[in-house]
Amino acid sequence: MINIMVDTRNFEQARRVLETLGVDVLEKAIVDAANRAAKGGAFTGGKRLLKKQYAVKAEDVKDAFRLVPARRGGQQMNPIQALGMFAGRPQPLFNFSPRPQTVMGGKTSGGVSALVSGQRHRFRHSFIAEMGSGHKGVFQRRGQERLPIEELYVLSIPQMVEDQKHGGAISKEIQADMQKRFEERFVDNCNRLLESKGLKKG
């Protein structure tokens, strides 16, 4: 979960809007900026970063993303905030450009390679199989016998975002991007509101 906590005390525009237009108008400006920042920073930014670092498909990021929007009425003990959340299960290895992609018969000692974390890795003794349901994936045997088999997975999208092998870099970059987007949008909102009342922007 990545959140944007709103603190407008250091914005001169916020003080002027509060003094001239009231708290309700100020809260509208904050909520709009927070929600746009959370969606733009977490979803748009996260999609770009996850694709670059892990070769995750855009549609998978879209399915994993949830926006908990900011709402008006924030108080000191319950401040206005917007949350950009990623949820989901580990990703099937088959989603990461496996080679080959067709069902494999006969010897499988060469295994399957897949593009994980921007590099192609080979998973020896793995193979492509299709289940009776039509689901296709990368599998390996649990033992020496032909059965049972198990499907191979990589990290979930939330785990990728917080992956400490990379110092949580994606999470930190998303957080910084969200804060930057919030500040820019909030200042624009305040200036627009002040100008609509014939007041000079800050």
Q: Which amino acid is at 49?
A: L
pLDDT attached to residue 131: 93
Question: How far apart are the C-alpha atoms of 147 and 129, rounded to whole Å?
Answer: 13
pLDDT attached to residue 185: 92
pLDDT tens for the chain, residues 1 to 202? 565 555 566 678 788 888 888 888 888 898 999 899 989 988 999 899 998 888 888 999 999 999 888 887 655 445 678 888 899 999 999 999 899 989 987 666 689 999 887 789 999 889 999 999 999 999 998 888 888 999 999 999 999 998 877 777 888 898 889 889 998 999 899 889 888 888 765 5
pLDDT attached to residue 114: 93
At 32, which helix (H) or strand (E)? helix 23-38
DSSP 43: I
Domain spans, the chain: 2-89+157-196, 93-151
pLDDT attached to residue 24: 87
Residue for token pair 């916020």: 14
Question: How far apart are the C-alpha atoms of 117 and 55, rounded to whole Å?
Answer: 7
Q: Please report how many Cα atoms fall inside a 13 Å half-sphere around the Cα of residue 118, on the Cβ side.
A: 7
pLDDT attached to residue 106: 64
Q: What are phi and psi of 120, to 5 degrees?
A: -85, 125
Question: How far apart are the C-alpha atoms of 5 and 30, rounded to whole Å?
Answer: 11
Kindly state the tokens that stand for 113: 């390679």
Q: Which amino acid is at 67?
A: L
Question: How far apart are the C-alpha atoms of 154 and 98, rounded to whole Å?
Answer: 13
